[in-house]
């Protein structure tokens, strides 16, 4: 137990020092996508529901937060709240429709609904269409802390991300989380035990959508713009890849997966240009064929085989 405490404390220490040694904007990007992947993992890894439309929550929330701050003059914390609520409400609508079918159909329905959101974002006036929403001011947190400084912004994103990841951890560990895992492992059995399976699925879906919305809202604050690529199905695919690569159903794996994907994209973009998509596709296929446990799952397997002395 003590070792665990030391580990957690040193990770926190590292996270606090990190913006002074590494580029804060990149770190924030990693956190936003890591959080997005964790939210997605709550659904796929722990409930067994494959949503192919999670970009809708991430992207639409980014737009709403950006619009609320830029046009309505919301403070950053209210803007982030607006984004999270957007994710939540869209999650209720999409979830209620999608859980009417299972498995493969669930994936196709979420993809189709997300595409609908994409077209709405393309056509609605407030999103700026092809240009996207630009020059969103970061503002002052609670009217006091100036977020234009990247380091201040970093600590805000860090606090929100840690809180959200902790919330996900608590959800998974709760009795509710146990029931959700039971549904993943054997839906018919969970139902025969008297659980209203669809209500649990919907609730997880909504939670996952809301946290994805939070991630999108933070992203728009960090980069100060929201674009159509946030709602595009490519983004939905990316978050699946991050989660799969990091390890399905592992608590911190998706963060590692997100880090690998984001760093790869950042590192490769200027070297190979449009081949990045090809590389992502190949990684995707390789993961599915040979690396289904992901980074965290494989590490856990290693530790189990060679327990530390």
List of residues contacting other proteins (CB under 8 A): 50, 52, 97, 100-101, 103-105, 107-109, 111-113, 115-116, 119-120, 122-123, 233-234, 237, 240-241, 244, 273-285, 287-289, 292
3-state secondary structure 142-207: CCCEECCCHHHHHHHHHHHHHHHHHHHHHHHHCHHHHHHHHHHHCHHHHHHCCCCHHHHHHHHHHH
The smaller minimum CB distance to other proteins, of residues 164 and 242, is found at 242
The smaller minimum CB distance to other proteins, of residues 100 and 189, is found at 100
Rg (CA), the chain: 19
Measured from the CB of residue 130, what is the shortest distance to other proteins in angstroms? 13
Measured from the CB of residue 235, what is the shortest distance to other proteins in angstroms? 12
The smaller minimum CB distance to other proteins, of residues 260 and 283, is found at 283
Q: Buried b / exposed e across 14-51, counting CB within 10 Å, b at 16+? A: ebeeebeeeebeebbbbbbbbbbbbbbbbbbbbbbbbb
Tell me the Ramachandran region of residue 73: left when phi exceeds 0, alpha when psi lies from -120 to 50, beta otherwise: left
Measured from the CB of residue 207, what is the shortest distance to other proteins in angstroms? 21
The smaller minimum CB distance to other proteins, of residues 103 and 267, is found at 103
Measured from the CB of residue 128, what is the shortest distance to other proteins in angstroms? 17
Q: How far is 200 from 207, CA to CA, in rounded Å?
A: 11
The smaller minimum CB distance to other proteins, of residues 238 and 251, is found at 238
Measured from the CB of residue 16, what is the shortest distance to other proteins in angstroms? 36
Which pair of structure tokens corresponds to residue 269?
């973009």
Measured from the CB of residue 181, what is the shortest distance to other proteins in angstroms? 16
Distance of CA 30 to the CA centre of its chain: 10
The smaller minimum CB distance to other proteins, of residues 243 and 250, is found at 243
The smaller minimum CB distance to other proteins, of residues 237 and 297, is found at 237
Q: How far is 266 from 64, CA to CA, in rounded Å?
A: 26
Distance of CA 20 to the CA centre of its chain: 25
Measured from the CB of residue 300, what is the shortest distance to other proteins in angstroms? 20
Distance of CA 118 to the CA centre of its chain: 18
């Amino acid at each position: 137990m003590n070792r665990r405490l030391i580990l957690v404390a040193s990770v926190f220490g590292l996270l606090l020092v990190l913006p002074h040694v590494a580029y804060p904007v990149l770190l924030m990007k990693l956190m936003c996508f890591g959080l997005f992947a964790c939210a997605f993992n709550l659904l796929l890894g722990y409930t067994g529901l494959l949503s192919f439309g999670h970009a809708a929550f991430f992207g639409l929330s980014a737009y709403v937060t950006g619009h609320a701050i830029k046009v309505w003059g919301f403070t950053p914390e209210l803007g982030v709240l607006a984004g999270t609520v957007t994710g939540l409400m869209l999650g209720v609508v999409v979830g209620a429709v999608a859980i009417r079918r299972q498995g493969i159909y669930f994936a196709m329905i979420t993809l189709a609904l997300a595409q609908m959101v994409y077209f709405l974002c393309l056509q609605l006036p407030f999103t700026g269409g092809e240009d996207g929403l630009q020059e969103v001011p970061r503002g002052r947190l609670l009217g006091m802390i100036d977020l234009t400084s990247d380091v201040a912004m970093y600590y805000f994103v860090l606090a929100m991300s840690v809180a959200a990841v902790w919330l996900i951890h608590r959800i998974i560990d709760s009795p509710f989380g146990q029931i959700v895992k039971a549904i993943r492992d054997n839906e018919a059995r969970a139902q025969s035990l008297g659980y209203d399976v669809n209500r649990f699925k919907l609730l997880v879906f909504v939670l996952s959508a809301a946290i994805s919305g939070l991630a999108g809202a933070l992203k728009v604050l960090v980069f100060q713009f929201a674009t159509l690529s946030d709602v595009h199905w490519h983004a939905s695919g990316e978050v699946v890849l991050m989660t799969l690569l990091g390890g399905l159903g592992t608590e911190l794996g998706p963060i590692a997966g997100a880090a690998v994907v984001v760093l790869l994209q950042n590192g490769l973009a200027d070297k190979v240009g449009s081949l990045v998509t090809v590389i992502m596709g190949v990684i995707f296929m390789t993961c599915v064929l040979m690396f289904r446990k992901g980074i965290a799952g494989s590490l856990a397997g290693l530790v189990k085989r060679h327990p530390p002395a």
